Structure 1
Amino acid sequence: MEQTTQPVLTDTEIESPLKYWLSWIAWPGLFALCMTLTGIAFSFGIPILGFIFSYILLIISLFFLERFMPHEREWLEPDGQTLADIAHTLTTKGTVHTLFVFAGVIGLSEVFRPVTEQGYGIFGPDLWPRSWPMGFQVAFAVVIAEFMCYWSHRTAHEIPVLWRFHAVHHSVTRLWFVNTGRFHFMDSLYRVLMGMIPLALLGAPMEVLQWMSAVTAFIGMLTHCNVEMRFGWLSYVFNTPGLHRWHHSRDLAEGNTNYGENIVLWDMIFGTYINPKDRRPPANIGINEFMPAKFTHQLLWPFLNKEKRKDFRTKAAGMGRSTQTKSG
């Protein structure tokens, strides 16, 4: 399928001065606000409560911004996947992230804390820079975790057995804040463990891991939002919505790029960073293969072999069940 080149919006084509300035302020402003509120909560010893409050505030803000100044108006139309998106989010965020990140990985870090606090880590002398200011520790954690996140994400595109699970996320035909958490739980588990375990093994303190989780959650929500935004130099540091929309392109030359979770450092180093200036990212996103529409079927789909997938599609069609088919 040919991609239609879309014109790049110029400043004079913005509907109003308010929307123009909001397009510049929205991303850094919302991210800074959420981080500030979370930091205040940390100072009062209630990090989880502060994170939840900030996350809900971000959801409400994006809900209204997506309707006030959408990046793609056609993405405001229902796609029949809202309930599936929410179900995936509850499964991945509620089960994988809570159980394995906070109870598992952070718990692992705490188990080794007595060792690392004496100056010895799992790999010999303690490598974690505990004397650094917390902000620098979190930035260091982002860089370390991002290396593993980059490769776990890239392999999920390049290795067929891993793509089976990751395709659930890429099967969406629109991007908006609700499908931020639309990941098969196995895909999410793989990527979370790849990103977090190295930090735990290096002896990263619990507070650093909590901050890392907050940063990833806020940027992830912003990355998938359908809000017209401008980023300037931010797109050379962070994984912004503008970059991630290219990642969801049906064209593999565009889609197999911009793998970074929070930052784009490793994309730049390994040659997978793109940020075209002559056109907008494609609005016609998705995958060029079949994906069931029902949540439970999406969970089952990656585990089926070729024959069972064929039988599944035949039975689904015979029962008149709606399916989400992508063809390019």
Structure 2
Amino acid sequence: METYGKILLIAMPAFFILVLFEKFWGVWKGKDTVPLNDMISSLSSGITNVTKDVLGLSIVVISYDWLFSKFGLFQIEATWLVYVLAFFALDFAGYWTHRIAHEYNIFWNNHIIHHSSEEFNLACALRQSISSIVKIFAVFLIPAAILGVPPQVIAIVAPLHLFAQFWYHTRHIGRMGFLEKIIVTPSHHRVHHAINPEYLDKNYGQIFIFWDKWFGTYKEETPEIPAVYGVTRPVQTWNPIKINFMHLWLLIKDAWRAKKWSDKLKIWFMPLGWRPEDVAKKYPVNKIQDVYHFEKYNPSLTKGMLIWSFTQLIVLLLLLSYLFGNLADIGSPGIFYYGGFVFLTVYAFTELMDRNPNAWAWEVLKAVYAMYFVFTTGDWFGLNSFLPGSLFIFVGYIFVSVVLTIWFSLKKEDYQLAS
């Protein structure tokens, strides 16, 4: 927990700078692929994901340590060759978990957030799940466990493998010559994120593309078919917490409404998109019929509201950095209370971006939640002791946030399209 938090203290600003660089690069080149509202939503999703992971809010059904102890036939040293082997093992496991997430209803809920952006940029790489409470990833590492790859090697390689999947989420890098035959490139991954019928459910590889070629899921990007991004059932919200659970909620409703008991059970394990015939007929859902002619989600916002939403994001990143840098000092259960504030903040300001007239209520709830801890402890989880005078700044932020959110929520005017 603490080690991962310290890694993120370096990774978070690095990713943020790269996201901003892509934004400014696109503006300079006349090809801006990073709308501000989409970027804020994506980064907010990343915040919820890393918060969940650092706090350990998930259940590992089968751990790699357990597999290693039960199935390991060999005991090998952690040499550089073993690290390479572990990297390939992780990528093999990643291919199959990724593919399963796209092929079965029950697993799609854990992955929908990553595909929910109707843009394709570095920021959308950070749209990661908070709904993957139960993890089965280690099952696909049985070959590595049998070969005797030590658990500490997997623990080191796993974050590197994850972070190495960031760079190829961009439209500013074209085809990359001979590398197209070996690794996943931006061209390959543009195909994967596309909802064009020709591209749908292809290129599951995370680092190496040859898995797709070997297992029949490879598709090359072609200039004649420009990729269109998103999901075929558009999410229609900037709120990443809502997106994380909307597919699960649809499955629950469909299972409840289905007349046949067989449908109530099999809906969870059927191919992605399958719905009971009676339910689909009576309760249709919005689905894109023509990927080349549909309106992207873009509720009109004033520049002031966009600037304020971006400010909220920056403040939250600073507060999150304090949490990750002081996990041991804050301790338990304090870190979980702090995590609750992070989630409330994201929910409140993304509801405002959605133009929800009740967004102010979430903001007030966030303020009441924060002030409870301030008044009962005289500090914000040790922040004032860490940086004298910061408590007054924090309380001032909470006050300003409530006032501006209420003002933006209730103000009636013509809004301009976000850019």
Shorter chain as denominator, the TM-score bin is 0.5 to 0.7
Q: Which residue of 227, 240, 247 maps to 1:302?
A: 247
Identical columns (%): 20
Q: Deviations over 1:151-178 (max 9, x none)?
A: 2111211112322442222121112222
Tell me how far 1:222 sits from its aligned partner.
Answer: 0.6
Cross-structure match for 1:173: 118
Matched, 1:90 2:50: no
Q: CA deviation at 1:233?
A: 2.0
1:288 to 1:124, Cα distance in 2 relative to 1, 3 A: closer
CA change 1:145–1:287 in 2 (3 A) is same
**Contact 2:169–2:189 (8 Å) recurs in 1:** yes
Query: Which residue type is aligned with residue 94 of structure 1?
Result: T
What are the superposed Cα offsets for residues 45-100 of structure 1, whole Å, 9 maximum, x if unpaired?
x998567536643542453245325899242323x343432232223233237627
Aligned partner of 1:77 among 29, 35, 45: 35
Residue 232 of structure 2 aligns with which residue? 288
What amino acid is the match of 1:290?
A: P
Q: Does 1:254 align with 2:202?
A: no
Q: For residues 98-177 of structure 1, what are the structure 2 equivalents within 5 Å? A: 99=56, 109=65, 121-123=69-71, 125-126=73-74, 129-130=76-77, 133-134=79-80, 136-177=81-122
RMSD: 4.1
| Contact 1:247–1:259 under 8 Å retained in 2 | yes
Deviations 1:265-303 (A, max 9, x none): 311210112234x52773531122131412332233122
Query: What is aligned with 2:299?
Result: none
1:261 positional shift: 1.4
- Residues 195 and 141 of structure 1: is their aligned pair in 2 closer, same or farther, counting only changes over 3 Å? same
TM-score (norm 1): 0.63
- Secondary structure, in 3 states, of the residue corresponding to 2:198? helix
Gaps of 5+ in 2: 255-282, 287-350, 357-419
1:204 aligns with 2:149: yes
Q: In structure 1, how many angstroms separate the alpha carbons of the residues matched to 2:71 and 2:48?
A: 34
Distance in structure 1 (CA, Å) of the matches to 2:178 and 2:236: 39
* 8 Å Cα contact 1:239-1:263 kept in structure 2: yes
Cα distance in 2, alignment partners of residues 196 and 72 from structure 1: 45
Per-residue deviation, 1:234: 2.0
4+ aligned runs moved over 6 Å, structure 1? 103-107, 309-313
User: Cα offset for 1:248?
Assistant: 0.8
Could you state the TM-score of these two structures normalised by the residue count of structure 2? 0.51
Classify the secondary structure of the residue corresponding to 2:202. coil
Distance (whole Å) between structure 1 residues aligned to residue 85 and residue 224 of structure 2 = 33
**Cα distance in 2 for residues equivalent to 1:157 and 1:93:** 22
Paired with 1:305 and 1:54, the residues of 2 have a C-alpha distance of: 35
Q: 2:129 aligns with which of 179, 184, 193?
A: 184
Runs (5+) with no aligned partner, structure 1 = 1-45, 314-318, 324-328
Q: SS state of the match for residue 305, structure 1?
A: helix
- Structure number with greater Rg is 2
What is the rounded CA distance, in whole Å, between the counterparts of 1:198 and 1:96 in structure 2? 25
Does the 8 A contact of 2:62 with 2:136 survive in 1?
Answer: no
AA at the equivalent of 1:288: T
Change (3 A) 1:129 1:89: same
SS in 2 for 1:185: coil
Distance in 1, Cα, partners of 2:47 & 2:104: 26
In structure 2, how many angstroms separate the alpha carbons of the residues matched to 1:239 and 1:169? 17
CA contact (8 A) 1:242 1:281 kept: no
In structure 1, what is the Cα distance between the partners aligned to 2:206 and 2:153?
17
Q: How has the CA–CA distance of structure 1 residues 179 and 194 changed in structure 2, closer, same or farther, with 3 Å as cutoff?
A: farther
* Alpha-carbon spacing, 1:262–1:125, altered in 2? closer, same or farther (3 Å): same
Residues 64 and 151, structure 2, Cα contact 8 Å, conserved in 1:
no
Aligned with 1:76: secondary structure? coil
Alignment check: 8 A CA contact 1:72 1:283 kept: no
Gap change, CA 1:168 and 1:62, over 3 Å in 2? closer
User: Is the 2:46–2:127 Cα contact (8 Å) retained in structure 1?
Assistant: yes
Contact 1:248–1:285 at 8 Å: present in 2 too?
Answer: yes
